[in-house]
């Protein structure tokens, strides 16, 4: 049983990864898929990034990274749990609680 989902108010925050996130590279080598629970709201998240690009292209509104960078040993994963967390900015294209965390690339 996964832990219950926490409907926390939206907040951008960097957290340590929860549990042991799995990183799988697609058969054609073009994608990484990261699977693991959100350390903040505990929703199971599945996150896909293009190989060779760090972070999602849609992360720009957050202003944390202005340009994609090559993978440097970890993938920045955003919560995309899909639950209606309160206080989420309406311009946010994300569907999660605002948490993000680094997952090491094997």
Choice from 23, 34, 43, 49 touching Zn ion (CB under 5 A): 43
Q: Is 83 in the site for Zn ion (CB under 5 A)?
A: yes
Minimum Å gap between C-beta 28 and Zn ion is 29
- Closer to Zn ion by Cβ: residue 6 or 51: 6
Residue 91, CA atoms < 13 Å, CB-side half-sphere: 4
Q: Is 34 in the site for Zn ion (CB under 5 A)?
A: no
Q: Is 77 in the site for Zn ion (CB under 5 A)?
A: no
Minimum Å gap between C-beta 57 and Zn ion is 20
Choice from 23, 34, 41, 77 touching Zn ion (CB under 5 A): 41
């Amino acid at each position: 049983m996964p832990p219950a989902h926490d409907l926390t108010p939206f907040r951008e925050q960097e957290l340590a990864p929860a549990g042991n996130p799995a990183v799988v590279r697609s058969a054609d080598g073009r994608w990484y898929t990261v699977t693991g629970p959100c350390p903040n709201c505990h929703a199971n998240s599945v996150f896909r990034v293009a190989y060779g690009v760090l972070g999602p292209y849609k992360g720009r509104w957050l202003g944390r990274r202005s340009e994609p960078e090559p993978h440097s040993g970890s993938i920045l994963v955003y919560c995309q749990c899909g639950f209606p967390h309160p206080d989420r900015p309406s311009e946010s294209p994300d569907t999660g609680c605002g948490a993000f965390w680094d997952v090491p690339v094997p």
